[in-house]
């Protein structure tokens, strides 16, 4: 039970709390009443679009449903009712402007619309003046993002993104040119400009623009498509309105342009028309079989499913209807935040503008227009929109270029393929995944997902297979030769020299002839389609034209292509496309050669003096080695000292001719002789070849051996008129212009013969095909060194021309079947000097560096043989003389030495005498000594008789 004190305290606390609540209530009540009084009971927005249109019908229902949903939602606008005023623009810019002015007279705080980009351009000026935000759900012209229209807010994605998607589809399939078929208004022109920019970034282009006026009938569309069909591109991008775009396909089908080989890509207008038609879309499907189309991607959600189900009771909804629904919610949320903003006080007021008034009694009622005083604050609230609608996350981000425009985040599209009575999705596209078969993950901040690459490469982009027009899955080539009766305008160099390559020919049906023209005509004949061509001579006929200028004319569009002896070099490939080379080429050096007169000492020139000395020394050295190795064994190497010296010299030099009559009998001698004869064989063969070359080849008169010697000299260098050799030598090799001389080919011979000292040139740098033709009839000149560039001749076409690819394949076919060589032999047959080789020009003399290996082998063999021989001699000498005694005792007593003769000298003389003995005598003496020692050992006594005297090796008589 509580005490009285506790009850008293509790009662006091309750009274205090109640008092505080009353105070707070009294304080907050005036503020709440003031806020409630500040909120207007009704806020009006306008809706500006064409009622009777595919987009308008869907948008009208969506806007009305959105207004109803906003008024039922207690969290938005609370006690303020949102009302909408609809105005019909009638697809007219003028009517749309009048309707916009009528809306402004009724004090709307925002306008949902306009639908048309053209009307948006005009009405935006009115909105800027009256400060009324425009929330457009269908105006997609990229130009509306300009800072010129600050009160224009695009509540959908502009055409820059869907045109980027179209460009990715084109690039994914390898097409380089497209034909744009579009309605000629702000919407159509702006979209095609965006398409051109997107294609250019991927090295493709819009090759033809077929614009038709709004409301064009089917006959006018057919005439337009006939002209477009005369162009080479078979990839058509249709950018029209949903109300008239289907007539384009109906006209195309009547012209049989929906057949195999054609590609048709429609922007999101076609999906809007099909979605709005619902079950009635099957009626139009027959005209659009195989068409690719885009549809703005909106992720599936409960809110979207609920809205679609509510629409189904009345009509079908398309993507523009979904964006119109979210536009109303965007305006409602912005108005709600604006009314809650303390800075604005929740006031909605309009004031007159002194610049807007009726003049001279005009009845237009312009003075009734009022400026929305809080329009700028409301615009800021709109730009801060951040909620999830039926189209996904609704949020703006400023353009990266700082132009002041803003776009919705997460632009994404579905790529759909029409087939049968329905459509199927073949890919998705978003600004960060590009083409993909997976649905894009739309992020709240609009940026790429973590670890993603915002520059997805073309190889990473994916699409499912497409059923193209003509009910085929084979990818169309995308182009054909234009059927407009206009032949290709082909530039041909008007050569004045070496007309075998290409030049004017009045007797030819083409007006030109030559090797290059025949190759081109043969390649064109292999193409699966006709290519009419008109050859136009380029040049004045006085001197060969500049080939750089000819290539530039192709790049500028003056010529469609260039056929001739055109080298494929780096600076030319930057502006045109070349075919596969049909001739291998490269820069070479041509110099003068002269016959070298032989003299009485020409036979000595194959070898250098040092080489001759080494050869002579080795002949004597090998002869001495063989004599040493054969002296004890071979009677032919014995005799008097004079005879033995003669034998050494004779044997040494006779081996040069393999005419030695002495036979070798010792193993070591034969070993050395075999190696030496091999060396002699190589020396003889080399001498013979070198002497033949020296006596027959021609020698360079200028001393230039190749590129290095040419660059190190200061002599003038010639080059052909119009050749790229001049720029190459100046830019790549650093040759000053003062050394270069421009020459016609028929002036080559005279300039080379005069030489640098007489106003000529030391050498000429030109391409190999010209040089080969020049040398075939001018035997006194030769090429020196190697080719120092590698290139070829090809046919030049404008950038991204598909003919360049097809002709490259045809040239490879000509090369494989031999036709290319037959054309070459027809025009470029070898001349009288073609068989002469240039390899022997300036033959060098042979030196020791070419043979030191052979001499090393021979020297080592001789050294090894002598080492083995002398080791064997010392071993025998020890056996022969090793047991002799100093006192004369023993089987072979040594004679008494003179006191004046040293013992070492006697031993050397004994050794020399022993070496001079025959091998058979030495063996008999050693064997006899061994027998006597054996007999003495068995008889118990020793022999005192002396062995054979060294002074008389042939006598063995006892002392």
Residues 929-947: pLDDT tens digits?
A: 666 666 665 554 443 433 3
Percentage above 90 pLDDT, the chain: 40
Q: With left for phi above 0 and alpha for psi between -120 and 50, is residue 278 left, alpha or beta? A: left
| CA Rg value for the chain | 53
State the Cα–Cα distance between residues 921 and 880, nearest whole angstrom.
11
pLDDT of residue 894: 45
> CB within 8 A of 38, min separation 6: which ones?
339, 345, 346, 347
Examine the pLDDT at 516 and tell me if it is beyond 90. yes
Kindly indicate the confidence band of residue 831, based on its pLDDT and cuts at 50, 70 and 90: low
Across 252-286, b (16+ Cβ under 10 Å) vs e yields: bbeeebbeebbbbbbbbbbbbbbbbbeeebeebbe
Q: Is 32 a residue whose pLDDT tops 80? A: no
pLDDT digits (tens, 9 = 90+) for 785-827: 888 888 899 999 998 788 898 899 999 999 999 999 999 888 8
Q: Find the mean pLDDT for residues 441-450.
A: 52
- Tell me if residue 782 falls in helix, strand or coil: strand
DSSP E strand boundaries for 399-478: 406-408, 412-419, 422-430, 434-436
On the question of a common fold for 42-155+303-402 and 488-583+796-813, the answer reads no
- CA separation for the pair 385, 434 (Å, rounded): 26
Strand-pairing partners, residue 534, are 489
Give the per-residue pLDDT at 610: 83
Q: 509: pLDDT confidence band, cut at 50, 70 and 90?
A: confident
Q: d(Cα 774, Cα 802) in Å, to the nearest integer? A: 36
User: Measuring CA to CA, which residue among 305, 770, 864 is closest to residue 565?
Assistant: 770
Helix, strand, or coil (residue 147): coil
pLDDT at position 444: 47
Q: What is the mean pLDDT of residues 173-199?
A: 94
- Read off the pLDDT of residues 676-700 as tens digits, 9 standing for 90 and up: 778 888 888 887 877 776 665 555 5
Report pLDDT for 940: 46
Q: Tell me: pLDDT of 63 over 60.
A: yes
By the 10 Å C-beta count (0-12 exposed, 13-18 middle, 19+ buried), 843 is classed as buried
Average pLDDT over residues 392-396: 87
pLDDT, residue 38, reads 64
CB atoms within 10 A of CB 242: 24
Nearest to 153 by CA among 353, 372, 395, 389: 395
Query: Residue 160, class by beta-carbon neighbours within 10 Å (0-12 exposed, 13-18 middle, 19+ buried)?
Result: buried
CATH topology of domain 488-583+796-813: D-Maltodextrin-Binding Protein; domain 2 (3.40.190)
pLDDT interval class at 152 (50, 70, 90): very high
pLDDT of residue 432: 84
Within 8 A by CB and 6+ apart from 850, the residues are: 686
CATH fit for domain 42-155+303-402, picks 3.30.360.10, 1.20.1250.20, 3.40.50.720, 3.40.50.2300 = 3.40.50.2300
Contacts of 73-80 with CB under 8 Å at 24 or more apart are 76/329, 76/332, 76/333, 76/336, 77/43, 77/332, 77/335, 77/336, 77/339, 78/39, 78/336, 79/36, 79/39, 79/41, 80/39, 80/40, 80/41, 80/42, 80/43, 80/335, 80/336, 80/339
What average pLDDT is seen over the chain? 80
pLDDT at residue 523 greater than cutoff 60: yes
The whole-number pLDDT of residue 281 equals 67
Q: Are 297 and 391 in contact (CB under 8 A)?
A: no
> Please, what's the b/e burial string for 37-72 (b: 16 or more CB within 10 A of its CB; e: otherwise)?
eebbeebbbbbbbbbebbbbbbbbbbbbbbbebbee
Evaluate if residue 245 carries a pLDDT over 70: yes
What pLDDT shows up at residue 807? 93
Q: Which residues contact 872 (CB under 8 A, 6 or more apart)?
A: none
| Third-level CATH fold of 700-790 | D-Maltodextrin-Binding Protein; domain 2 (3.40.190)
- The yes-or-no verdict on residue 836 having pLDDT over 60 is no
The pLDDT-based confidence of 838 (bands split at 50, 70, 90) is very low
All residues at 6 or more sequence positions from 739 whose CB lies less than 8 Å from its CB, including other chains: 714, 715, 716, 717
Helix runs in 371-463, H state only: 375-383
What are phi and psi for residue 763, nearest 5 degrees? -160, 165
The reported pLDDT for the residue numbered 186 is: 93
* b/e 394-430 (16+ beta carbons within 10 angstroms → b): bbbeeeeeeeebbbbbbbbbbbbbbbeeebeebbbbb
Instruction: Kindly tell me if the per-residue pLDDT of 12 is higher than 50.
Output: no
Q: Does 352 have pLDDT greater than 50?
A: yes
pLDDT of 914 higher than 90: no
Question: Does the structure show a pLDDT above 50 at 956?
Answer: no
**Could you tell me the pLDDT band of residue 179, with boundaries at 50, 70 and 90?**
very high
Does the pLDDT at position 13 exceed 80? Answer: no
Q: Which of 628, 672, 622, 623 minimizes the C-alpha distance to 873? A: 628
* Percentage with pLDDT > 70 across the chain: 76
- Which one has a higher pLDDT value, 60 or 671? 60
Q: Residue 470 in 3-state DSSP?
A: coil
136 DSSP β-pair partners: 154
pLDDT interval class at 875 (50, 70, 90)? confident
pTM summary value: 0.66
Considering the domain delimited by 159-302+411-436, tell me its CATH architecture: 3-Layer(aba) Sandwich (3.40)
List all residues 6 or more positions away from 814 whose beta carbon is below 8 Å from its beta carbon: 519, 522, 523, 526, 582, 820, 823
Q: Taking the chain, what is the end-to-end CA distance rounded to the nearest angstrom?
A: 167
Q: Which residue has the higher pLDDT, 457 or 650?
A: 650
Provide the pLDDT for residue 629.
Answer: 76
Residue 896 has pLDDT above 50, yes or no: no
pLDDT of residue 597: 56
How many Å apart are CA 177 and CA 174, to the nearest integer? Answer: 10
Q: Which of 279-293, 366-380, 884-898 has the highest mean pLDDT?
A: 366-380
- Max avg pLDDT among 60-69, 312-321, 431-440, 471-480: 60-69
Helix (H) or strand (E) holding 747: none
**Beta strand spans in 551-697 (E):** 561-562, 577-578, 583-585, 587-595
The answer to whether the Cα torsion of 680, 681, 684, 690 is positive or negative is: negative
- pLDDT at residue number 460: 59
Contact (CB, 8 A) for 833 and 778 = yes
Bridge-based pairing of strands 577-578 and 263-266 is: unpaired
Of the candidates 198, 224, 559, which has an alpha carbon nearest to the alpha carbon of residue 413?
198
- For the chain, the structural domain boundaries read 42-155+303-402, 159-302+411-436, 488-583+796-813, 602-696, 700-790
CB 633 within 8 A of CB 665: yes
In whole angstroms, what is the distance from residue 294 CA to residue 413 CA? 6
């Amino acid at each position: 039970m509580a005490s009285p004190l506790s009850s008293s305290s509790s009662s006091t606390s309750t009274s205090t709390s109640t008092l505080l609540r009353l105070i707070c209530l009294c304080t907050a009540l005036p503020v709440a009443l003031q806020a409630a009084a500040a909120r207007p009971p009704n806020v009006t927005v306008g809706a500006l679009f064409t009622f009777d249109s595919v987009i308008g019908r869907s948008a009208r229902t969506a806007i009305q449903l959105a207004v109803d949903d906003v008024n039922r939602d207690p969290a938005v606008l609370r006690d303020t009712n949102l009302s909408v005023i609809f105005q019909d623009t009638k697809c007219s810019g003028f009517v749309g402007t009048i309707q916009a002015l009528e809306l402004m007279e009724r004090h709307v705080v925002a306008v949902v619309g306009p639908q048309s980009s053209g009307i948006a351009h005009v009405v935006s000026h009115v909105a800027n003046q009256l400060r009324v935000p425009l929330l457009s759900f269908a105006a997609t012209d990229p130009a509306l993002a300009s800072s010129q229209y600050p009160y224009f807010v695009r509540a959908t994605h502009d055409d820059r993104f869907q045109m980027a998607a179209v460009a990715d589809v084109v690039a994914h399939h390898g097409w380089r040119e497209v034909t744009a078929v579009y309605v000629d208004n702000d919407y159509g022109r702006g979209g095609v400009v965006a398409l051109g920019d997107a294609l250019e970034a991927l090295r493709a282009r819009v090759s033809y623009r077929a614009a038709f006026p709004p409301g064009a009938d089917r006959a006018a569309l057919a005439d337009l498509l006939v002209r477009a069909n005369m162009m080479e591109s078979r990839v058509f991008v249709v950018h029209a309105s949903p109300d008239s775009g289907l007539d384009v396909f109906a006209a195309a089908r009547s012209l049989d342009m929906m057949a195999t080989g054609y590609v048709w890509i429609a922007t999101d207008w076609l999906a809007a028309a099909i979605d709005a038609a619902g079950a009635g879309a099957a009626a139009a499907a027959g005209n659009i079989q195989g068409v690719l189309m885009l549809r703005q991607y909106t992720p599936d959600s409960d809110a979207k499913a609920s809205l679609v189900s509510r629409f189904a009771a009345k009509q079908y909804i398309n993507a523009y209807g979904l964006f119109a629904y979210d536009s109303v919610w965007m305006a409602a949320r912005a108005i709600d935040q604006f009314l809650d903003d303390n800075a604005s006080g929740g006031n909605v007021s309009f004031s007159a503008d002194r610049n807007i008034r009726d003049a001279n009694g005009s009845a237009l009622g312009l003075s009734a227009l009022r400026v929305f005083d809080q329009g700028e604050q409301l615009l800021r609230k709109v730009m801060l929109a951040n909620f999830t609608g039926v189209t996904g996350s609704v949020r703006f981000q400023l353009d990266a270029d700082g132009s002041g425009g803003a776009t919705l985040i997460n632009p994404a599209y579905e790529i759909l393929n029409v087939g049968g009575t329905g459509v199927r999705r073949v890919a998705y596209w978003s600004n960060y995944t590009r083409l993909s078969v997976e649905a894009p993950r739309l992020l709240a901040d609009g940026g790429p997902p973590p670890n993603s690459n915002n520059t997805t490469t073309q190889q990473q982009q994916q699409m499912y297979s497409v059923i193209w027009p003509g009910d085929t899955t084979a990818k169309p080539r995308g182009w054909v030769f234009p059927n407009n009766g206009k032949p290709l305008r082909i530039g041909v160099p008007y050569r004045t020299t070496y007309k075998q390559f290409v030049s004017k020919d009045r007797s030819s049906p083409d007006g030109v002839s030559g090797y290059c023209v025949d190759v081109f005509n043969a390649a064109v004949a292999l193409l699966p389609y006709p290519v009419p061509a008109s050859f136009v001579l380029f040049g004045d006929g006085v001197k060969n034209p500049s080939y750089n200028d000819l290539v530039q004319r192709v790049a500028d569009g003056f010529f469609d292509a260039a056929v001739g002896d055109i080298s494929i070099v780096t600076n030319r490939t930057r502006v045109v496309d070349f075919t596969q080379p049909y001739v291998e080429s490269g820069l070479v050096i041509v110099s003068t050669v002269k016959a070298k007169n032989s003299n009485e000492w020409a036979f000595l020139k194959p070898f250098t003096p040092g080489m001759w000395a080494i050869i002579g020394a080795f002949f004597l050295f090998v002869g001495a080695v063989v004599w040493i190795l054969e002296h004890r064994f071979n009677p032919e190497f014995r005799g008097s000292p004079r005879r033995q010296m003669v034998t050494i010299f004779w044997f040494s030099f006779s081996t040069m001719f393999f005419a030695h009559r002495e036979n070798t009998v010792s193993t070591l001698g034969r070993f050395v002789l075999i190696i030496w004869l091999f060396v002699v064989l190589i020396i003889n063969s080399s001498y013979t070849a070198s002497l033949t070359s020296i006596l027959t080849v021609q020698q360079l008169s200028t001393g230039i051996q190749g590129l290095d010697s040419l660059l190190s000299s200061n002599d003038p260098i010639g080059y052909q008129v119009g050749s790229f050799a001049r720029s190459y030598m100046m830019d790549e090799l650093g040759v000053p212009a003062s050394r270069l001389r421009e020459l016609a080919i028929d002036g080559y011979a005279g300039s080379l013969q005069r030489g640098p000292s007489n106003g000529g040139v030391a050498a000429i740098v030109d391409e190999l095909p010209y040089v080969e033709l020049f040398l075939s009839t001018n035997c006194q000149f030769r090429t020196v060194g190697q080719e120092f560039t590698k290139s070829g001749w090809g046919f030049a076409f404008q950038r991204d021309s598909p003919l360049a690819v097809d002709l490259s394949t045809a040239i490879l076919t000509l090369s494989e079947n031999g036709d290319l060589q037959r054309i070459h032999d027809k025009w470029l047959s070898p001349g009288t000097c073609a068989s002469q080789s240039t390899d022997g020009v300036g033959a060098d003399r042979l030196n020791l560096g070419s043979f030191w290996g052979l001499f090393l082998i021979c020297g080592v063999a001789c050294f090894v043989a002598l080492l083995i021989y002398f080791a064997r001699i010392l071993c025998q000498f020890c056996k022969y003389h090793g047991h002799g005694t100093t006192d004369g005792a023993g089987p072979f007593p040594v004679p008494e030495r003179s006191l004046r003769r040293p013992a070492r000298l006697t031993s050397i003389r004994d050794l020399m005498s022993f070496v001079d003995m025959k091998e058979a005598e030495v063996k008999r003496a050693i064997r006899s000594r061994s027998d006597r020692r054996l007999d003495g050992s068995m008889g118990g006594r020793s022999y005192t008789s002396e062995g054979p005297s060294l002074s008389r090796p042939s006598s063995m008589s006892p002392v």
